[in-house]
Amino acid sequence: MDNPILFLDYDGVLHPDAVYQTRRGLELRAPGQLLMHADVLETILDDHPEVRIVLSTSWVRLLSFKRAHGVLPESLQARVIGATWHSKMPRAPEYGYDLQTRYEQIRAAATRAGMTRWLALDDDPDHSWPDRDARLIRCDSALGLGRLQTQYELRTKLVTLLERSSVSPSI
């Protein structure tokens, strides 16, 4: 796959990482609202129409791909081409996917799909990302894309990813 890909987490990225599943659905227990920074991501990606999104959020596993995809603004929905988790994977926690770190989940999905040009936008609370791999834009779990430095890093890495795409297959 030649399109540049952005692996997208929701919790700690599009809103604070304080979301809980309740009888009424998912509930944010921090100031703000669910997906409050989606507009920031839309604005940043407006400059890069070729970038596609793969959902790397636990919402896909908890709610379903259709529901997790459906909560995004339409312009982001149009970019989504898949997710790191799919319904054919075992749900039992003793199986592979649940034992993997977010980094391993993303790497496995990228490898399965033959993705060579990608970045990940994630708060990575377990710090599973290897230092030698600069494809992560690590968000502050409380601020997500509300932090200007994170927005700058995403913009910069997207430009670099797209510039290098004509020279080499990965960042």
Give the mean model confidence (pLDDT) for residues 36-64.
Answer: 95
Residues written for the chain: 171
Percentage of the chain beyond pLDDT 90 is 71
Domains of the chain: 5-164 (3.40.50)
Q: Tell me which of 116 and 96 has the higher pLDDT.
A: 116
Q: By mean pLDDT, which of 85-94, 121-130, 140-149 is the weakest?
A: 85-94
Nearest one of 13, 2, 3, 4 to 121, comparing CA atoms: 13
Nearest one of 159, 113, 156 to 2, comparing CA atoms: 113
Cα dihedral 162/102/11/163 (nearest 10): -10
Q: Tell me which of 93 and 38 has the higher pLDDT.
A: 38
The residues near 167 (Cβ < 8 Å, ≥ 6 apart) are: none
Local confidence band at 93 (pLDDT 50, 70, 90 cut-offs): low
